[in-house]
Amino acid sequence: MRFCYYVGIATLLLVNFSASLGERIDYSGHKVVRVRAANAVQLSYLRHLQTSDETLDFWTDPYRVGKPVDIHVTPGKYEGLARSLSSAGIQHQIKVEDIGKAEKEERQTIEHRRELTKNQKAFDFENYHTYEEIVAYMEQLALENPLVSVSSIGTTFENRSLTMATISTGSNPDKQVIVFECAVHAREWAAPSTCLWFINELATKYGSDSEITQLVDGFDWKITPVTNPDGYTYSWTTDRLWRKNRKPSSTCYGVDINRNFDTNFGGLGASDIACVDTYHGPYSFSEEESSAVRDVLIANRPRVKAAISIHTYSQLWMSPYAYTHDLPLEYDEMLRVMSIGVQALQNTYGTQYQYGNHADTIYIASGTTVDHAYSAESILYAYLLELRDTGEFGFQLPASQIMETAVETWNGIKAMALEIL
């Protein structure tokens, strides 16, 4: 999900310097406020605020009248923001009272669950995990289960392996493929947890669950639970709200991998400013991570039936296009299959999702995975999912919701896959 991290270059350099010294960024007292534009004038005001006040961090874009907009604000700026919104006739509510407190509680929960499960051999799917723990689980599963193999699809700037799991019977080299790219944005911790659950369900229920057996017989599944290992690791060690990868430029760190693909590269919804969270990079596929995803799709051409990108948050299921409001020629079919997946997801726990084309459902974005998969690789079922929640917790989804998020999402994916088999 987009998080427009408009902060002054000097401030970002200071943050980068602090991080290099091993200091964890402290979000104590930082709030998330939610606003809604009631009319076009208020929408224009919010858009102006987003682009003119570099101290405000927009977690969601002001793209449509009536839609919620979440703004991360520092302690010293809250009162001024509240007055500014009031003068424009815009009411606000506080969604997260203290981001720093929420982060401390999150880490306490993680450590508590680790202590509870330290003597258990089984992987704890109800907790968040470091990248090293995620890879170790995948490698162990590959040793124990003949359906699973693990491979490196690339190496990051900080020399981490981009690790992908393949679940396959290995019986048919022409079998259709479903590809998952998860956690391309570092702070979206519920994404890798969900994709690990996909791997577990496919690998451990083959032969005992008729639907999963049908899906593994019918598809090869290629799942990369963390497509941004450097950024993800950094979100654990230093900055919980980090989004981009960690490749340095002359001024700031990181490129938004989901703006670094070739389709309409550098267009609307991406930035050419290196210190902005939607920085698209110097050229398309300049980043090891986006190149790795591209190469997986190429290597499996033309077998890829679906390519799915897993993000958080907002509870959305979206298809191309992201870069334009124009609809693909096959949009009716995309929408039909989306609706089947969404219905199955919603039927699980009642979690409500919106669905449709990316540009109209969330915002305009250029250089995305979903548009590349459809436009460059002709993959009809190219989707991007934004998982739980709708803003109560945002990127800091409580561990108590990990399993429900994973289970409901898998039910949606399973229904989609059965439909296109």
H/E element holding 343? helix 331-349
Cα torsion for 362, 363, 365, 368, to the nearest 10°?
10
| CA atoms of 97 and 101, how far apart (whole Å) | 8
State the Cα–Cα distance between residues 223 and 181, nearest whole angstrom: 6
Helix pair 229-237, 131-144: axis angle to 10 deg: 130
- Residue 29: exposure state from Cβ atoms within 10 A (0-12, 13-18, ≥19): middle
Beta carbons of 20 and 81 less than 8 angstroms apart: no
In 3-state terms, what secondary structure has residue 227? coil
Give the strand pairing for 354-357 and 148-155: unpaired
Tokens describing residue 67: 């839609």
- Alpha carbon distance 45, 329 (integer Å): 35
386 is catalytic: yes
| Number of Cβ within a 10 Å radius of residue 122 | 7
Cβ proximity of 53 and 76 under 8 Å = no
Query: What is the chain's length?
Result: 421
Q: 97, 386, 404, 408: which is the annotated catalytic residue?
A: 386
Round to whole Å and give the CA distance between 300 and 308. 15
Q: CA of 123: how far to CAs of 119, 206, 397, 410, in Å? A: 11, 19, 20, 18
Instruction: Tell me if 382 sits within 8 A of 373, measured CB to CB.
Output: yes
CA dihedral 20→24→29→35, nearest 10 degrees, is: 70
What positions carry a catalytic annotation?
A: 386
